Amino acid sequence: MSVDLEKLAQEEYKYGFVTDVEQEVAPKGLSEDTIRMISSKKNEPEWLLEWRLGAYESWKKMKEPRWAFLRYPEIDFNDISYYAAPKSNPSPKSLDEIDPEIKETYDKLGIPLEEQKMLAGVAVDAVFDSVSVFTTFKEKLAEEGVIFCSISEAVEEYPDLVRKYLGSVVPRGDNFYAALNSAVFTDGSFVYIPKGVRCPMELSTYFRINAENTGQFERTLIIAEEGSYVSYLEGCTAPQRDENQLHAAVVELVAHNDSTIKYSTIQNWYPGDKQGKGGIYNFVTKRGRCVGRGSRISWTQVETGSAITWKYPSCVLEGDNSVGEFYSVALTNRRQQADTGTKMVHVGKNTSSTIISKGISAGEGQNIYRGLVEIGKNAEKARNYTQCDSMLIGDRCGAHTFPYIEVRNSTAHMEHEASTSKIGEDQMFYCRQRGLSAEDAVSLIVNGFCKEVFKELPFEFAVEAEKLLSVSLEGSVG
Amino acid sequence: MLEVKNLHVQVDDKEILKGMDITVAPGEVHSIMGPNGSGKSTLAQVLAGKEAYEVTEGEVTFQGKDLLDLEPEERACEGIFLAFQYPVEIPGVANTYLLREALNAKREYRDEKPLKHVEFAKLAREKMKTLGIDEDLLKRSVNAGFSGGEKKRNEIFQMQILEPALAVLDETDSGLDIDALKIVANGVNSMRDSGRSFIVITHYQRLLNYIVPDFVHVMVDGKIVRSGGKELAHELEEKGYAEF
Ligand SMILES: Nc1ncnc2c1ncn2[C@@H]1O[C@H](COP(=O)(O)OP(=O)(O)OP(=O)(O)O)[C@@H](O)[C@H]1O
Ligand SMILES: [Mg+2]
């Protein structure tokens, strides 16, 4: 069987098609003018332009971080276009006004934008390159006072909220990629859940990169007022191209007293081919602040795509009794590399955090878990549970874990478990002896390995995630 | 049904089976006994298609087909079942889930429609009752945290659902209490018919009181050194393997 596992055939990436629409693409290069151009395209207020320019100033002084366990060539930030938008109707009021090509794209991706065709109970914001092309169920959500729209629209319609919270979790100069994003972000989603409201639907954003040589820089901001609840999901895909494309997003979550934000990601950016050509470079800053007591932020991610993933969804547990959770499945196949994990920063009393990370490496994939649990000096009786499991399929892949722990309060209670296993030859043989093909056996075993994470996903998406994992594993056995 | 001729098998350049012969006709039950390390489990695993074992000489035909040509899953679908000496744990995979997938893989191989959830559940519940298996065991992860006896019972349960043409039971009796032994033996006997064969590997004559074999073979150092009827088991029980 070990021989089988090494024969890595290549399964086609299912979402690799290109949509042929006329697009307005900004010339390559990054300068103050680029930023002014983006800001004026979006009719932004002066304060936001200033904010962007400030971020750009910080960014220019920063160095690209190289501490991650990732190998990739230098990125030329002047060889990227920072804005691409379909030329057709920029802000369609109804579905009929959307370019049919774009609508068809989402149909092909399995995200029909017609509300009646959607999964029941899921509202979608569709982001195509640099712009949000449509948001469904807005009216229905508005009845409950829930705001779900593109961030561009939020800047126009709810400037006070945006101004209050933008950068309040991830400051514009936080890190190299966050600063870049703050300078040039083009679109993303905005969610506001008023006090005491349990959001009646799953909210989701579907990110699609289409244009060539462009980066996607989206910004998502979610605010949950006291006692509210929201479950949000993002999905991402991109065409199959030979050159690498940059995706640098920032996500900020704010949870007030006794509110809950569940944030799930199914990331399936184009991973590059077998030789490691092409694929998305995914540099993402995601952070949530549990500002209120008893608040809860839960990150669940299933990362199967991208050539490079650099991503550490984090929680800052400021409110007493607040809870942070991180559930992650990261799969690297072919030449993919992922350096991912989380930061749990305990500030308030009785705060607790849970980290469950499942890394699967196949082919020549490299999978790194990097996590920090920090217990501040006032965080009385903080608790953390970390479990970090790696699975290797074949013997040309790798897994590494870098767990960091900083404790400044002696009442903290920490538990850490870690394991690395080679996908068991005995398990494989057992399944095959019962009649399962080698591929079905791998997929069954890996899905079992990820069970604890999948059960955190909204039901419909858990099924999707299992399928996606199976597809991503295709070709990992010969 | 099964014909093994002059089978030589090695692992890591060490020869383990050294000219093994055995012929099993439809409906027969053969028992293989022999000292520890003589190669009984190796034979079982080679029949099931474990790739770590390299066949250097000899041939194996199963229902007219060259068995050594087939992948493990093809052998399973052709009707070979191995009840493992050490059933493996698969965390996170429900016992029923694996079994349904397995049954449906087999059905697909035979161009039959997959069984629906309800149909499968009904089938499973029936078999479970006769084997005294707890419903809870079905929902749990495959063999994870099962007691030794539960694992063995689970193997027989799987055999009952998959209805193989040839079942190889590798020390299914070890680790079973007396009651469980009877239950397992009944599970096997209830499946005996003119078309189905069994190879029962065991160290204890006791099992053969319940599953009465047509033939008993003694395996020593990688080959069969003596064959006989069920009396041979009694003789071994008395005298041990010293004379070989
Ligand atoms: N994968 C392997 N690598 C090295 N040696 C092996 C391997 N598998 C089996 N052997 C050796 O082959 C010999 C036969 O082993 P096998 O498990 O077939 O014996 P057995 O007759 O089933 O013994 P027991 O009655 O103890 O179950 C033993 O010496 C064993 O150590
Ligand atoms: Mg044995």
pLDDT digits (tens, 9 = 90+) for B45-80: 999 999 889 999 999 999 999 999 999 999 999 999
Contacts for A458 with CB less than 8 Å, ≥ 6 apart: A202, A231, A233, A264
pLDDT digits (tens, 9 = 90+) for B200-235: 999 988 899 999 999 999 999 999 999 999 999 888
Give the phi and the psi of residue B39 in degrees, each rounded to 5.
115, 15
Q: How far is the CA of B149 from the centre of ligand 2 (A)?
A: 16
pLDDT of residue B151: 92
Q: Of A188-192, A431-435, A472-476, where does mean pLDDT reach its minimum?
A: A472-476
Eight-state DSSP code of residue A187: B
Mean pLDDT across chain A, nearest whole number? Answer: 86
Q: How far is the CA of A460 from the centre of ligand 2 (A)?
A: 45
Encoded tokens for B33: 């006994």
Nearest to A448 among B93, B109, B158 (CB): B93
Residue of chain A nearest B93, judged by CA positions = A448
Contacts of A431 in chain B (CB under 8 A): 90, 98, 102
pLDDT greater than 50 at residue A422: yes
* Count of CB pairs separated by less than 8 Å, A with B: 83
pLDDT of residue A41: 87
List, for chain B, all residue ranges whose pLDDT scores fall below the cut of 70: none
B36 lines ligand 1 (CB under 6 A): yes
- Smallest CA-to-CA distance from A470 within A447, A438, A437 is with A447
In Å, how far are A146, A153, A262, A463, B120 from A200, measured between CA atoms? 9, 22, 14, 21, 36
Report how far residue B243's alpha carbon sits from residue A167's, in angstroms, rounded to the nearest whole number: 85
Pairing of strands A308-311, A260-267: unpaired
Give the relative orientation of helices B148-162 and B117-131 as an angle to the nearest 10 degrees: 130
pLDDT greater than 80 at residue A238: no
The better pLDDT of the pair A337, A465 is held by: A337
* B8 DSSP β-pair partners: B18, B57
Contacts of A435 in chain B (CB under 8 A): 73, 76-77, 102-103, 105-106, 109, 162
Beta-carbon neighbour count of residue A456 at 10 Å?
19
Confirm if B162 and A435 have CB atoms less than 8 A apart: yes
C-alpha torsion B178→B184→B189→B193, nearest 10: -160
The minimum CA-CA distance between A360 and chain B, rounded to whole Å, is 15
B51 lines ligand 1 (CB under 6 A): no
- Mean pLDDT to the nearest integer, A425-436: 94
- Mean pLDDT to the nearest integer, A26-31: 86
Q: What percent of chain A has pLDDT over 90?
A: 46
- At B65, is the secondary structure helix, strand, or coil? strand
Encoded tokens for B157: 């349960």
Give the phi and the psi of residue A356 in degrees, each rounded to 5.
-125, 115
Mean pLDDT across chain B, nearest whole number? Answer: 93
pLDDT digits (tens, 9 = 90+) for A454-469: 888 877 677 777 777 7
- At A231, is the secondary structure helix, strand, or coil? strand
